[in-house]
Amino acid sequence: MADVLIVEDDEAIADLIHMNLSAEGYRCICAGDGMEGMNIFERESFDLVLLDIMLPGLDGYALLERIQPTGTPVIFLTAKGAVEERIRGLKAGADDYLSKPFQVGELLARVEAVLRRRKPEVCFLRLGDVTVRTDSRQVEKGGYPVILTAKEFDLLAELLQNKNVALRREQLYEKVWKEPFLGETRTLDSHIQRLRKKLGWEDRIKTVFRIGYRLEG
């Protein structure tokens, strides 16, 4: 099972994460500030870092810069509604973010999704008769090519990598379009509609009321 470094100065949150990940078989080490996190990271090897942004001493952005050259995936922990922080983190190279407060199920799903898509041997995703090659950005359904735009492809990959997880509209938009979500949903909704039609996934891509979308598989 994977080794996870948790860098979080809120002891209650760190303990909650440590307890639940450990129960799933992950080996976890906690650090209470950025400098401690950096020292631990430099001494040991990790498969994933859960990194709070607002840390005493060395903040999350600075620590992310130290981690990036190693290729270790990072999930940012952010305050709920901190759009600018989420965008900055994703553009800086974080693999995902988790808004506080969060549900344990979402935490586990995001950890599993990031670790799964970071495995180097995995260059394709598959669900039913749809195959997605992430290296060549090609999509096939029933052996026949499906033509997608760049954003449609990125959106499809994000849904597949988080299969069976309810994804918030703002999260999907910010991850795919790399810009702040200002509440206008037409762009995302129209891309979802086109994906449903092109893939015949009207029953697979579910609308989650007041939240966003979930790909069922």
Average pLDDT, integer, range 202-206: 96
Domain 3-117: which CATH number of 3.40.50.980, 3.40.50.2300, 3.40.190.10, 1.10.3720.10: 3.40.50.2300
pLDDT tens for residues 121-138? Answer: 456 788 999 999 887 889
Alpha-carbon torsion (181, 185, 189, 191), positive or negative: negative
pLDDT tens for residues 139-174? Answer: 999 989 999 999 999 999 999 988 999 999 998 999
DSSP string, 7-53: E-S-HHHHHHHHHHHHHTT-EEEEESSHHHHHHHHHHS--SEEEEES
The CATH number of the domain covering residues in 124-215: 1.10.10.10
| 3-117 shares its CATH topology with 124-215 | no
pLDDT tens for residues 73-93? Answer: 999 998 755 677 777 778 888
Domains of the chain: which residue ranges?
3-117, 124-215
For the entire predicted model, the pTM comes to: 0.58
Per residue in 66-93, is it b (16+ CB within 10 Å) or e — as a string? ebeeeebbbbbbbeeebeebbbbbbeee
